[in-house]
Amino acid sequence: METEQPDRQSVLPYLQAVAWSFLGIRRGARARDDMSRLRPLPLVLTGLALAAAFVGLLLVVVHFAAAGAPA
């Protein structure tokens, strides 16, 4: 019995679309192409995951900056 493996390459377009959206520089035909071929739910979940990762990164940077500051 063969189990289905998720296609790892299918995650990359979602990551790229969300990254470009965070930067706000994806416009025109490429943005319309993304919206026509990418499903909304995985796109939203990818956006939430990347936003949470960014907030986590900021918290780690602040923690280390505050730990190194003299009291």
Q: CB-based contacts of 44: which residues, under 8 Å, 6+ apart?
A: none
pLDDT at 59: 97
pTM attached to this predicted model? 0.74
pLDDT in tens, 6-59: 555 589 999 999 998 888 887 788 888 888 999 999 999 999 999 999 999 999
Residue type, 56: G
pLDDT at 3: 52
The answer to whether the CB of 3 falls within 8 A of the CB of 20 is: no
The answer to whether the CB of 38 falls within 8 A of the CB of 13 is: yes
